[in-house]
Amino acid sequence: MKDMPQLGMGTFRLEGDTALNAVTDALDVGFRHVDTAQIYKNEELVGDAIKTSGIARSDLFITTKVWYESLSEDKFIPSVHESLSKLKVEYVDLLLIHWPYPGDDISLEDYLMRLKQAKELGLTRHIGVSNFTIDQIKRAEEILGKGEIYTNQIELHPFMQNRQVVQACEERGIGVTAYMPFAVGDVMKDDTLTAIADAHDSSPAQVVLAWLDKKGINTIPSSTNKKHLAQNFSYTELSLTDDDITRIDELDNGERIVNPDFAPKWD
């Protein structure tokens, strides 16, 4: 079973031809993990890009996420079938709960067992969660059993390193996937990251990707520029020093970007 590549192509906020072209370009420069979600409304376009790429399904790692409005018993599995139909695949490699359910009428146990059912039905190879707090991760592991949760996808970048959640996941052998690793472009403007990038003749984006790699954290940055996609993909040519890592670690200031009104109470 294929492991999730360290670097994936994120598709949040990508629509229409932009989404189609960006995923096509990402696959062309070497990306083999594409991350989408039901709420992004671009699964069909991601599916089109994958289909026309000619890349064997077994060489790809595809992630999608079930939106919280589809977590009820009558909607969950049908919504996954709909995602697979749009993506034009028989299964995804990773199916995530996009956000913890914000209401009281569907229990965590109920929708996590439906997630497990999706895996048992062969609709997904791996299952995981996104935006889960430490307490929710603990409860999810109790419900699903050790080793079932593949990853917790969370906001993570140099300015918001989410260390307690990362530690809680690592203690349980649960992977961490960072979304918004470039903090919506803020990393490109940061003096420390720019200085480190200049010293290595690289870009601040490459510096952040190398830093995440050093920490064993997967990530799914988004870009619509093929040149930037190629630069991102070649971050492995960059080798950060221990001093570089320390300087990036010190940028953490808890600056959260994603905080919708249905978000859980963050750690």
Question: Residue 263: left if φ>0, alpha if ψ -120 to 50, beta else—which one?
Answer: beta
CB 153 within 8 A of CB 66: no
Catalytic amino acids? 40
Query: What is the Rg, in whole angstroms, of the alpha carbon atoms belonging to the chain?
Result: 18
**259's tokens:** 């905080």
C-alpha–C-alpha distance, residues 3 and 60, integer Å = 10
Which residues fall within 8 angstroms of residue 10, CB to CB, at 6 or more apart? 35, 179, 220, 221, 222
**212's tokens:** 């995440």
> One-letter amino acid identity for 130?
S
> One-letter amino acid identity for 111?
Y
SS (H, E, C) 114-138: HHHHHHHCCCEEEEEEECCCHHHHH
Q: Output phi, psi for 97, to 5 deg.
A: -80, 120
CB 2 within 8 A of CB 58: yes
> One-letter amino acid identity for 204?
P
